[in-house]
Amino acid sequence: MFCGKCGAKLEEGVTFCPQCGTPTGAAPAAETAGTAPAAKKPNLPVLIGAVVLVAVIVVSLLFAVGPLGGRSAEKTIDQLFESVLNADTRGLMSLVPDGMVEAAMEESDMDEDEYEEQLDDMDEQLESSLSMMEALAGEDWTMTHEIVSTENITGEDLADLKDDYEEYNVKISAAKKLKLHITLLDSEGEEVDDSSTEMYVVKCGRDWCLDVNSMGNIF
């Protein structure tokens, strides 16, 4: 290969003539014709930072919505009142710790048909009790409830409660005593009566349930 201007002999791949400096028109040796430039390696610290950021966002969202499938103590009380006001015994029983219904049926020698009949009877009792409220507050009465205080049950009291439930093969991890204020309102929203009561709940797995032991026999 020779320079087209001065005729000097050129090495293969040089881009300028070493004698006269004229461009030779040859491609740089590192980028020969038909060869794509080498891919740029990703910046590792940037990739790690992006992964960490995504993880933080996901964890934050999970904590924002709470553990999936869990029912809070407050939600349990809300469902309790909703079921009572709708005379829905089956809704009430759904708030009982898993295993307690089966244990009660076995102890009472009750089969599925008898259990369903028992629930129907309890629905009628609830409806009868609710109809009596009309004599006090008139038609279209409503009832509100508010949790005014929450107390964690700990120490020996919790240990005794765990022992009670273990007899039914039910495991609980925590318990609470909730103090409620209940208000009865007439159709105009005027207060007719109010009262305070205490409710106990226990935590079974992810869900808070009604503490059956503090409420007496299920049936």
Profile the chain (219 residues) by mean pLDDT over runs of 10 residues: 69 67 57 50 52 50 47 92 89 86 83 89 87 84 93 94 88 94 90 89 92 61
pLDDT at 43: 54
For the chain, domains (ranges, CATH) are: 74-214 (3.10.450.50)
**pLDDT for 146:** 94
Beta-strand runs (E) in 140-173: 142-152
Structure tokens at 134: 């009309």
Instruction: State the pLDDT at residue 154.
Output: 95
Beta bridge pairs of residue 152: 176
How do 191-204 and 207-210 pair as beta strands? antiparallel
Between CA 93 and CA 210 the distance in angstroms is: 9
Using DSSP's 3-state secondary structure scheme, residue 201 falls into: strand
C-alpha span between 70 and 49 (Å, rounded) = 32
pLDDT of residue 58: 46
SS3 50: helix
pLDDT at 25: 63
Res 106: pLDDT:
84
pTM of the model: 0.65
